[in-house]
Every structure is written in structure tokens, then in C-alpha cells.
């Protein structure tokens, strides 16, 4: 995860498809078993699984391109 990105619960506009966010985080949680280097980043985006915002989605998708 990019160290300069700070996510909070109230980071703006709600994401329009929270189920998509949940599925994506779930897939990353599965990868945690074999790729221990992503555990910190996945735990960061997992905090917002109940109410993701667009900023959370952007952080999730930008970081996932690094995998």
C-alpha cells in the first residue's frame, strides 16, 4: 500500500457497488495465505468493507495492480 495514502471511514462519496468491493477484498484475503507481503495493505482496505467510498475503491484497485 502506498504509505502516503491515508484512508478514513468518512472519505467522501460512497462507492456505488459495495458488493464488488467486498468480493475484491475477499479475493485479496485469500491471497494473504501465499503472499504475506500484502497482508498489511489488505488489512488496511478491509477496515472499510461495510461502507466503502470511491476513495477506498481507488486505493484498493491501484494497490492491486502492484500484485
Q: Which residues contact 21 (CB under 8 A, 6 or more apart)?
A: 15, 48, 49, 52, 56, 57, 60
| C-beta of residue 26 within 8 angstroms of C-beta of residue 45 | no
Domain limits, the chain: 18-64
Q: Per the structure block, which three cell numbers stand in for 60?
A: 484498493
The tens digit of pLDDT for each residue in 15-67 reads: 999 999 999 999 988 888 888 888 888 888 889 989 999 988 888 887 655 44
Is the pTM higher than 0.85? The answer reads no
Number of CB atoms found within 10 A of residue 2's CB: 10
Amino acid at each position: 500500500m502506498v504509505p502516503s495514502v491515508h484512508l478514513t471511514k468518512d472519505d467522501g462519496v460512497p462507492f456505488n457497488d459495495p458488493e464488488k468491493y467486498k468480493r475484491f477484498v475477499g479475493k485479496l484475503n485469500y491471497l494473504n495465505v501465499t503472499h504475506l507481503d500484502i497482508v498489511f495493505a489488505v488489512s488496511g482496505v478491509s477496515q472499510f468493507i461495510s461502507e466503502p467510498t470511491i476513495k477506498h475503491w481507488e486505493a484498493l484497485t491501484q494497490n492491486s495492480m502492484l500484485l
